[in-house]
Structure 1
Amino acid sequence: MLLVENICKSFGGKEVLKDINFQIGEGEILSLLGPSGCGKTTLLNIILGLTEQSEGQVIYKGEEISHIPMNKRGFNIVFQDFALFPHLTAYENIVYGLKNRNAKVQKKDVQEYIDFLELEPHLHKQINQLSGGQKQRVSIARTLVMQPKILLLDEPLSALDGVIKESIKSRIQQIAQDFGLTIIIVTHDPEEALTISNKVLIINEGKVAQFGTPQQIMAQPADPFIETFILKQLHIKRKNIYRLFGERHA
């Protein structure tokens, strides 16, 4: 569905991304994983159309789309800080983007997303009356009603804790499965990436360190950086990560 080929990006002569390649299919979740400053947000912005690559191609369903502006690509993003309008209610935030759409979205479709995300009790609340998890669900609903071709999420779980974090993680997986929506997530959290995604692209210093399924990455880390980043940096023990996949390794 989406193919990224040989993407490079430089800012002021400094190379930020070098020879990035990957592909994902319909309904899959891909995590762009790496430490701060590795280039993952720049890559997300290139896919979105917010930033233009220096070299390479972004191909969607067989069409090279690098020349297509962001507002014509049909990809939508949920920002890390939710970016909700504080003077509007939750419902007004959800339907805000529909005002400028030529193609009409049926009211029943909007209601389907509201019901799916269990937002009915909160529709008439002001944004400052919502919890972090509720704000995230409103932000996701606002994006879904625009019927995006690909959903991009920038650190969607970083402001959430505990049960709320697990709930939103489950919702994201359900969205991909139930609506067949391809989702790309930017995260710096290895555990988050490995437990939510079908595929993970690990970036280190602007280059692909490894691309594969969570199971492949855990079973065969490509280099010492991946071993260190995933297992030691966040003090996650190998046996606990393997347990997430129902595997047992000595």
Structure 2
Amino acid sequence: MTAAPALELWGVRKEFGGQVAVDGVDLEVPEGSFFALLGPSGCGKTTTLRMVAGLEQPTAGAVSIGGRDVTGTPAHRRPVNTVFQSYALFPHLSVLQNVEFGLRRQRVPDARARALAGLQTVRLAHLADRRPAQLSGGQQQRIALARAIVNNPSVLLLDEPLGALDLALRRAMQLELKRIQAEAGLTFVHVTHDQEEAMTMADTVAVMNAGRIEQLGPPAELYELPRTPFVATFLGRSNLVAGTVVEGSGGVLGVEVAGARLQVPADRSAVSDGPVLLGVRPEKVRLSAQGEPPPSGSNVLGPGTVTDVSFTGVSTAYQVDLGALGVHEVFAQNTTGAPTSRPGDTVHLAWDVDFTFGLVPDAAAAS
């Protein structure tokens, strides 16, 4: 018998004064997984989290935790804990006392032992006697996390928990959170606007936009095969061009783009005829110098002019002006130790057909 998902939402909708914040969200979070709600500010991800926590009630739809409908259940009676961006630690209590605070209130008999075990999980047992003011931001975040996980919630909710940390510490904490989730075996639902954060930590990512889930799946799947222009441009970078499907055979579609003929695998395109938006990720594209034949089996666009070269160490980012098709990006690994093209060079862009994806046209994304 299959275990019930840790969290389910059915047609969840939330309105504030007639404005729709969340618009018919359905999702299922497997038990023991790391799930991320990813999207820009105002997309509805935090409101969705608050409805799971019981801090907001849905206008319509239902919320289930561990197979039990909790839609009308007050927040304090739900088997969840929430970790916010602000750590909300008690400054007058020690680290250990902060972690065991909730357990003491519930009169848990082994509160101190469980609190110490929680500190060991976040690798801060040696700081048990210190006060929060004596800790770094990253350490305070881990204390807040330990305080949440010792309650063994069915679902642990994380609302932008790393937003207050600097870049280097945030990246370190991404890996630490992933380790803690795997070790604790709890279900984490993490809200973030940071694409790298979601892709680094989550087993499954739901990309939200305008109150809806645009696409849901493993990070690699969303990145390699976006299904909407929004996902293609929000989750990483994409070069997009508008074209028209003019033929199809052998599982490949032929697309006319500004007089050039490009191809896209039929199973990588949301469109099989008529207008289509073709896309490719910048790191999949190669620069071919003027007069240099592109690799066989490639899609090719150009000629274009290199307008900017940015050396970043590991890679070089090129901006290439293709005239009516706009400016496109190419990310090249620095295997030779220096950029191979310079501003003003005439080049073609080439990439394997299998890296192309096709989307339903969206004027805003293509402009």
* Fold agreement, TM-score > 0.5: yes
Tell me which of the two structures has the higher relative contact order, counting C-alpha pairs closer than 8 angstroms and 6 or more residues apart.
Answer: 1
Aligned length: 241
Partner of 1:244: none
Q: Does 1:130 align with 2:140?
A: no
Partner of 2:214: 209
Partner of 1:85: 90
User: Which of structures 1 and 2 has the bigger CA Rg?
Assistant: 2
Query: Equivalents in 2 of 1:118, 1:237: separation in Å?
Result: 39
Query: Equivalents in 2 of 1:227, 1:97: separation in Å?
Result: 43
Partner of 1:37: 42
My pick for the range that moved more, 23-32 or 81-90, is 81-90
Q: Secondary structure of the residue that 1:231 maps to in structure 2?
A: coil
Partner of 1:49: 54
The one-letter code sitting in structure 1 at the alignment partner of 2:162 is L
For the 8 Å contact 2:204–2:216, the answer to whether it is kept is: yes
Partner of 1:175: 180
Query: Equivalents in 2 of 1:123, 1:27: separation in Å?
Result: 28
Post-superposition Cα deviations, 1:101-131, rounded to whole Å, max 9, x if no partner, equal 1443454332222112111222222211110
Post-superposition Cα deviations, 1:141-173, rounded to whole Å, max 9, x if no partner, equal 111122211111111222223553233222322
The one-letter code sitting in structure 2 at the alignment partner of 1:191 is E
Partner of 2:78: 73
Partner of 1:119: 124
Q: Which structure's residues are more often strand, by fraction?
A: 2
Per the TM alignment, residue 174 of structure 1 is displaced from its structure 2 partner at its CA by 2.3
For the 8 Å contact 2:115–2:147, the answer to whether it is kept is: no
The one-letter code sitting in structure 2 at the alignment partner of 1:101 is Q
Q: Does 1:13 align with 2:18?
A: yes
Structure 2: unaligned runs, 5 residues or longer: 239-280, 285-314, 316-351, 356-367
Q: Which 4+ runs in 1 deviate beyond 6 A?
A: none
For the 8 Å contact 1:231–1:237, the answer to whether it is kept is: no
For the 8 Å contact 1:10–1:16, the answer to whether it is kept is: yes
The one-letter code sitting in structure 1 at the alignment partner of 2:138 is G
Per the TM alignment, residue 71 of structure 1 is displaced from its structure 2 partner at its CA by 0.8
Per the TM alignment, residue 18 of structure 1 is displaced from its structure 2 partner at its CA by 0.5
Query: Equivalents in 2 of 1:92, 1:184: separation in Å?
Result: 26
Q: Secondary structure of the residue that 1:98 maps to in structure 2?
A: helix
Structure 1: unaligned runs, 5 residues or longer: 241-247
Partner of 2:171: 166
My pick for the range that moved more, 130-139 or 142-151, is 142-151
For the 8 Å contact 1:231–1:238, the answer to whether it is kept is: no
Q: Does 1:99 align with 2:98?
A: no
Aligned with 2:229 (options 201, 224, 227): 224
